């Protein structure tokens, strides 16, 4: 099992998802050899909470990692009573490893680790930032300094230039491509996958791109001519959502088109570099000769505005942020039929249940996801289609919370604190420009979707503790507080 994630990747950044300009032949080939899910939705539009959903197979309101602080290292980690996907696989004999950015604090359930916390666009110094430790991290730093002394510091020097600010971080990194953070991650993953071992393995591979900074190394920085890059269709649109930020100043004035085109060119350059790394991982897997199939699942933690409504980033429920690519590929074909495309609604929490199902492990009752295995093979029955997808968001200062439910046609958003709700007809208004919730004629739709959201939340109020009959803690006293004597060994022995 190989779970590959990118960071902040839009659905429309692949050839297989309709982009006619960007070059992603390796990822496109994985989709052609497996199953492409065209309507996959994340459960939180921010890195760490979203990855907690992916790593546990549980919703935000279940696992509790609901927000990410600005000083990332101070973000509360996964609660101790939660079990990760890697831990579940470990318990069933899998050797587990993680490379790159998995954003699980602390990383649990892995036998081998080589991690970074991401590129951290806000960090402009390698040490001493009030934001905390630089996110590229000491493991990558030590490796890079051994190969190219001074290179780590040069990365941060390039972030202290006026161009870095003026161009919204769109400045090529001043190191060779083979030393770039995502090249390091891809090489580590390929090395691990290529090793001979007696039992099955699970590798979590987390690329840092195409998250900001928009900093591809050469030759990827020159791969796409900014002058030929398309300006986003929604560049001049005004969003109806309260969560979408203000228009960025770089996207007004005479250089506005030039600025967004540069960013798009570098964003696609980072995607092509990642695609090249995916090719090396696939090649390493195909060289194995142990008689076992390798299943590769590829997705991202959330999308990116990339100029939509004149802004960048995430932390909202816009389609370009919460709809993400997902492919499931059986390299031998034993666990999947090539060339399948699924348009049903799918959630990120389904990934963990799918991995467990493919491994022959029954998902426990506290996992709300459904296995996608049936979609992947023509000889298996499709699972019951989802009627909606759930997404939750809490601001990093925890002052505001919002929740979203997305059906095939509508998107409903609830905001706490008495803030007005939102409702969009995605069939008639795919750009999400007109909030229908303010029109009394749509009150029945608002009530119906508010009830659906409440049903989704109350219907998943389950964890490992309340899913276990007669669970008690501590176990050495009874329900009246009286000590329970331990059973004699003769009565406990098999």
| Mean pLDDT computed over every residue of the chain | 94
- Of 14-28, 218-232, 270-284, 480-494, which gets the smallest average pLDDT? 480-494
Instruction: Tell whether 478 is covered by a domain.
Output: no
Task: State the pTM of this model.
Answer: 0.94
The number of angstroms, rounded, from the C-alpha of 86 to the middle of its chain's C-alpha atoms is 16
Instruction: Tell whether 474 is covered by a domain.
Output: no
Instruction: Tell whether 348 is covered by a domain.
Output: yes
Same domain, 14 and 149: yes
**Domain span at 361:** 2-387
Instruction: Tell whether 266 is covered by a domain.
Output: yes
Same domain, 418 and 344: no
Same domain, 258 and 301: yes
| Burial (CB count <10 Å: 0-12, 13-18, 19+), residue 326 | buried
- Of 4-8, 158-162, 334-338, 474-478, which gets the smallest average pLDDT? 474-478
276 near 235, Cβ under 8 Å?
no
Same domain, 73 and 97: yes
Residue 69: per-residue pLDDT: 86
Same domain, 71 and 109: yes
Confidence label for 488 from pLDDT (cuts 50, 70 and 90): low
Residue 468: per-residue pLDDT: 66
Same domain, 335 and 432: no
Same domain, 405 and 300: no
Residue 230: per-residue pLDDT: 96
Q: Which residues pair with 401 in a beta bridge?
A: 394
Same domain, 231 and 326: yes
Per the structure, the count of domains in the chain is 2
Same domain, 403 and 328: no
Residue 491: per-residue pLDDT: 47
Q: Which of 363, 387, 411 finishes a domain?
A: 387
Q: Region 144-152: what's the mean pLDDT?
A: 98
Same domain, 383 and 397: no
Instruction: Report the percent of the chain where pLDDT is more than 70.
Output: 96
Residue 494: per-residue pLDDT: 40
Residue 353 pLDDT greater than 70, yes or no: yes
Report d(CA 221, CA 276) in Å as an integer: 14
Hey, what are 480's tokens?
A: 């009246």
Confidence label for 470 from pLDDT (cuts 50, 70 and 90): low
Same domain, 408 and 318: no
Report d(CA 467, CA 368) in Å as an integer: 12
For the domain that residue 414 is a member of, what is the CATH number? 3.30.1120.10
130 near 69, Cβ under 8 Å?
no
Confidence label for 472 from pLDDT (cuts 50, 70 and 90): low
Instruction: Tell whether 155 is covered by a domain.
Output: yes
Report d(CA 473, CA 359) in Å as an integer: 32
List, for residues 319-340, the tens digit of each pLDDT value.
999 999 999 999 999 999 999 9
Q: Calculate the alpha carbon distances from 77 to 66, 67, 133, 300 in Å.
A: 10, 10, 17, 20
Same domain, 268 and 192: yes
Instruction: Report the percent of the chain where pLDDT is more than 90.
Output: 86
For the domain that residue 7 is a member of, what is the CATH number? 3.40.720.10
Instruction: Tell whether 69 is covered by a domain.
Output: yes
Instruction: Tell whether 467 is covered by a domain.
Output: no
Residue 161: per-residue pLDDT: 97
Residue 419 pLDDT greater than 60, yes or no: yes
Q: Which of 387, 411, 429 finishes a domain?
A: 387
Q: Region 30-53: what's the mean pLDDT?
A: 97
Instruction: Tell whether 237 is covered by a domain.
Output: yes
List, for residues 163-213, the tens digit of each pLDDT value.
999 999 999 999 999 999 999 999 999 999 999 988 999 999 999 999 999
Residue 476: per-residue pLDDT: 83
List, for residues 228-275, the tens digit of each pLDDT value.
999 999 999 999 999 998 999 999 989 999 999 999 999 999 999 999
């Amino acid at each position: 099992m190989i779970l590959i994630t990118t960071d902040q990747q839009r659905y429309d950044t692949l050839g297989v998802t309709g982009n006619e300009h960007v070059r992603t032949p390796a990822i496109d080939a994985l989709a052609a050899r497996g199953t492409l899910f065209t309507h996959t939705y994340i459960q939180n539009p921010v890195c760490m909470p979203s990855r907690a959903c992916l790593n546990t197979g549980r919703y935000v309101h279940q696992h509790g990692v609901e927000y990410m602080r600005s000083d990332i290292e101070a973000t509360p980690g996964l609660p101790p009573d939660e079990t990760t996907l890697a831990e579940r696989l470990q318990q069933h004999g899998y050797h587990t490893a993680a490379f790159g950015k998995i954003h699980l604090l602390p990383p649990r359930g892995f036998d081998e680790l080589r991690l970074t916390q991401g590129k951290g666009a806000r960090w402009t110094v390698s040490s001493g930032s009030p934001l905390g430790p630089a996110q590229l991290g000491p493991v990558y730093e030590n490796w890079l300094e051994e190969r190219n002394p001074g290179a780590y510091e040069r990365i941060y020097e390039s972030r202290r230039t006026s161009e870095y600010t003026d161009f919204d971080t769109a400045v090529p990194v001043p190191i060779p491509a083979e030393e770039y953070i995502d090249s390091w991650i891809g090489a580590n993953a390929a090395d691990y996958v290529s090793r001979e071992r007696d039992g099955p393995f699970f590798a979590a591979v987390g690329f840092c791109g195409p998250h900001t900074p928009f900093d591809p190394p050469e030759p990827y920085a020159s791969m796409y001519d900014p002058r030929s890059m398309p300006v986003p269709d929604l560049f001049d649109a005004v969003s109806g959502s309260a969560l979408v930020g203000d228009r960025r100043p770089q996207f007004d004035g005479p250089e506005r088109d030039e600025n967004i085109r540069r960013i798009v060119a570098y964003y696609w350059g980072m995607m092509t570099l990642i695609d090249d790394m995916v090719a090396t991982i696939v090649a390493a897997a195909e060289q194995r000769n142990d008689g076992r199939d390798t299943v590769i699942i590829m997705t991202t933690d959330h999308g990116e505005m990339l100029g939509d409504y004149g802004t960048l980033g995430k932390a909202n429920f816009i389609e370009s942020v919460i709809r993400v690519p997902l492919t499931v590929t059986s390299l031998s074909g034993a666990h999947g039929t090539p060339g399948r495309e699924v348009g049903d609604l799918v959630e990120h929490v389904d990934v963990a249940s799918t991995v467990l199902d493919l491994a022959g492990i029954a998902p426990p009752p506290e996992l709300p996801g459904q296995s996608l295995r049936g979609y992947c093979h023509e000889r298996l029955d499709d699972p019951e289609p989802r009627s909606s997808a759930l997404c939750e968001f809490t601001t990093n200062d925890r002052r505001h919370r919002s929740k979203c439910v997305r059906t095939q046609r509508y998107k409903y958003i609830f905001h706490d604190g008495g803030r007005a709700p939102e409702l969009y007809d995605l069939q008639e208004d795919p750009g999400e420009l007109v909030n229908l919730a303010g029109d009394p004629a749509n009150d029945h739709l608002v009530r119906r979707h508010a009830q659906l959201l409440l049903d989704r939340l109350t219907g998943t109020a389950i964890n490992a503790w309340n899913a276990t009959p007669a669970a008690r803690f501590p176990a050495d006293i009874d329900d009246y507080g009286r000590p329970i004597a331990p059973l004699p060994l003769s009565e406990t022995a098999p």
